[in-house]
Amino acid sequence: MAAPEPEAPTPARSRAKDHSPWNWLLFIPIVVPLIPALFNADSPRLFGFPRFYWLQLAWIILGVATTTLVYQMTKKRGDR
Amino acid sequence: MWRDHLTEIIVFTFLFLLVSAMGFVAARWRAPRDMAHLDEWGLGGRNFGGWITWFLVGGDLYTAYTFVAVPALVFGAGAMGFFAVPYTIVIYPMVFLVLCRLWSVSHRHGYVTPADFVRNRFDSPVLALLVAITGIVATMPYIALQLVGIESVLKTMGVTGDNALARHLPIIIAFAILAAYTYQSGLRAPALIAFVKDSLIYIVILVAIIYLPYKLGGWGDIFNAADAKFKASPAPGDGILLNANNQLQYVTLAFGSALALFLYPHSITGVLASRNRDVIKRNMSALPAYSLLLGLIALLGYMAIAAGVKPLPGAKAGSVDSNTVVPLLFDQQFPSWFAGVAYAAIGIGALVPAAIMSIAAANLFTRNIYKEYLKRDASPAQEAQVSKVTSLLVKVGALAFIIFLDPQFSIDLQLIGGVIILQTLPAVALGLYTRWFHRGALIAGWVAGMGMGMWMLYQIANPATGKKHFAGSAFPLSEFGFDTKKTIYVGIVAVLVNLVVAALGTLVLRAAKVTGGVDHTTSDDYFADEGDPRVTPGTDRDADSAREPVA
């Protein structure tokens, strides 16, 4: 497999095609769920759930909202 | 006694046979022109849309073992077991863009495995071989663990025997059926079955989280019962909240596990089978629905505490099999027919990932060992055939793990698996963004990371069970000479060592002017999408997997 290319290979550098300022938002749902100081407590309880549990489950909504927003804002419109 | 569980066994068997039939029919679902091609058998035609991908990848990542082991961990240790929730939240934004690049470059060049990519990116069959072997070794015990998931259910239904053969006969039959339809239908089988599996799981969990708290006095009482249990126990690390010493472990375990998840070959197989980049991005937004499910399932561990469940005895005298707490909870609280449905959900839940994992491992063997070292001119039909046979052997191997060895051995190996698969991160994940690393340095980094990881895992003891080595992934920082009781996840440290060695090695090899080989990919490859020229499956499908882009 993989015959060598006839031409000199171009160095693979990521171009600006995938780049969008919206992508920076993705750091929020990566960093926030990893800060125990935010959620490692019992009070306030919500429907009997200590904060540790309901707040971490709420991060799921944070993750979904952020990725959906980034997807919608970076979606290619029309033809390419 | 199994007679007490007759209704459960009948419901379980009926649903199990139903999905088996679906597995065989799957070969004709979205029928391919020619099944004798790895793109068809091993990647389902590379053409799955949003819904199928969602069920497939969801069914693949959230395995039966997860559904049994995570609540078992919460039952035993409390808050620490909840790491699965942040783990499966941070994963998706993290790989949102990375997987799109992998998809694009793989579709343009016909890559089937991550090792295919590494081989062409870094021009190094040796590095590709390391990635492939790492993938296979990490996946094997994971398949075996799916059997542990099924066994916990069978055990609860009283389907056990006096000798090893009688005890294991049901899972041997189950795996024989699984092997047969995977052989015939390839990735289409788990994709079709995943619909049934996930629907069952969603129903069971919805019922469980509404009905069980009602029976057990409400969520407040459930958490209070758990709190009371952990306060009474002498173990220092448990509790319904984290303590000062295990927060670092919690965070690094969640983050490290997330880094590892999409390096597993079976996760990548699911992603590469999707139709285009949009399908991947939409799925990264929609897959957290499973994380919600997992979080609720984790809390079944507390419900088991509140319901006073006592786990069944384990393989060794005096030990308990904490994996049986969830099946026991269902048995105790649900009417038998619904407990049967719940057991079927777990049992079928084991089949989907087991099938995908065996396909992924077989693809690695075929592409990166067989085709690379044994038969360079293998035709696509031969590749597909080798992969099919290998998938059978992989399942036999996984069965042997469970039948002949203590299941604890598989659990230990899977723990190691997470650490070793992380060592492919620089070559596979960072390789998608940069070719800065030198191939020789990546190999050196892999060796260093592996060595570090193994040494650290070897040092970890658990006084409670009397295990001196490989007793967990929480490494005490005091071993490094720090004056603290804090622990950290082994994988994170190992992959950091790997990265440092790879970076330093790259600088040294560059300075010594050692050739770094030729990059067979171009920057444009990483943005290719469905409909672009030379993106598989294209119209001109001559199946030359390594077709090079024309400059």
pLDDT digits (tens, 9 = 90+) for B2-22: 667 788 888 888 888 888 888
| Window 517-536 of B, Cβ < 8 Å to A | 518-527, 529
Residues of A in contact with B240 (CB under 8 A): 42, 50, 52
**Cross-strand bridge partners of residue B320:** B313
Question: Does a structural domain hold residue A13?
Answer: no
Asked if the model's pLDDT at residue A25 lies above 60, the reply is yes
Give the pLDDT confidence of B391-409 residue by residue, as tens digits: 889 888 888 877 877 777 7
Asked if the model's pLDDT at residue B242 lies above 70, the reply is yes
DSSP letters spanning A11-74: P----GGG--GGGGGGHHHHHGGG-HHHH---PSPBTTB-HHHHHHHHHHHHHHHHHHHHHHHH
pLDDT score for B425: 92
CA torsion B113→B441→B96→B362, rounded to 10°?
A: 20
B546, B1, B25, B460: which is closest to B249 by C-alpha?
B460
Mean pLDDT within B338-357: 88
Question: Does a structural domain hold residue B298?
Answer: yes
Nearest CB among A12, A33, A70 relative to B86 is that of A33
Residues of B in contact with A78 (CB under 8 A): none
Coil, helix or strand for B149?
helix
pLDDT score for B444: 93
CATH number assigned to the domain comprising residue B67: 1.20.1730.10
Residue B378 near residue B370, CB atoms below 8 Å: yes
Asked if the model's pLDDT at residue A78 lies above 70, the reply is no
| Window 410-439 of B, Cβ < 8 Å to A | 433-435
pLDDT score for A62: 92
**Cross-strand bridge partners of residue B214:** none
Asked if the model's pLDDT at residue B499 lies above 80, the reply is yes
Q: Which helix (H) or strand (E) holds B171?
A: helix B164-185
Name, in order, each residue with C-beta under 8 angstroms of B500's C-beta and a sequence gap of 6 or more: B445
Q: How far is CA B157 from its chain centroid?
A: 26
Number of domains in chain A: 1
* Inter-chain touch A2–B119, beta carbons under 8 Å: yes
Q: What does the alpha-carbon distance between residue B14 and residue B57 come to, in Å, rounded to a whole number?
A: 25
Question: Does a structural domain hold residue A47?
Answer: yes
Q: What does the alpha-carbon distance between residue B327 and residue B316 come to, in Å, rounded to a whole number?
A: 20
Q: What does the alpha-carbon distance between residue B314 and residue B30 come to, in Å, rounded to a whole number?
A: 44
Question: Does a structural domain hold residue A46?
Answer: yes
Q: Tokens in use for B493?
A: 């440290």
User: Lowest mean pLDDT: which of A76-80, B181-185, B303-307, B354-358?
Assistant: A76-80
pLDDT score for B468: 79
Mean pLDDT within B87-103: 89
Residue ranges with strand state E in B314-359: none
| Interface contact A77, partner B, CB < 8 A | no
Q: B336-365 and B64-77 are packed helices; what angle lies between their axes, rounded to 10 degrees?
A: 110
Share of chain B above pLDDT 70, in %: 94
Residues of B in contact with A49 (CB under 8 A): 219, 223
Give the domain range for residue A36: 21-74
Question: Does a structural domain hold residue A66?
Answer: yes
Q: Tokens in use for B42?
A: 């091993």
Q: Report chain A's terminal Cα–Cα distance, integer Å.
A: 32
Number of domains in chain B: 1
Model pTM score: 0.85
* Inter-chain touch A2–B521, beta carbons under 8 Å: no
pLDDT score for B540: 38
Q: Report chain B's terminal Cα–Cα distance, integer Å.
A: 70
Give the domain range for residue B396: 2-425
* Inter-chain touch B242–A63, beta carbons under 8 Å: no
User: Lowest mean pLDDT: which of B99-108, B113-122, B165-174, B402-411?
Assistant: B402-411
* Residue of A59, A64, A72 to mutate, testing the B interface (most B Cβ within 10 Å of its Cβ): A64
Mean pLDDT within B187-199: 86
Question: Does a structural domain hold residue B385?
Answer: yes
Asked if the model's pLDDT at residue B539 lies above 50, the reply is no
pLDDT score for A40: 86
Question: Does a structural domain hold residue A3?
Answer: no
Question: Does a structural domain hold residue B114?
Answer: yes
Asked if the model's pLDDT at residue B132 lies above 90, the reply is yes
* Inter-chain touch B219–A41, beta carbons under 8 Å: no
Residue B489 near residue B474, CB atoms below 8 Å: yes
Burial bucket for residue B133 (CB in 10 Å: 0-12, 13-18, 19+)? middle
Question: Does a structural domain hold residue A59?
Answer: yes
Question: Does a structural domain hold residue A6?
Answer: no
pLDDT score for B543: 40
Residue A64 near residue B285, CB atoms below 8 Å: yes
* Residue of B92, B283, B432, B521 to mutate, testing the A interface (most A Cβ within 10 Å of its Cβ): B92
- The model's confidence at residue B533, banded by pLDDT at 50, 70 and 90, is low
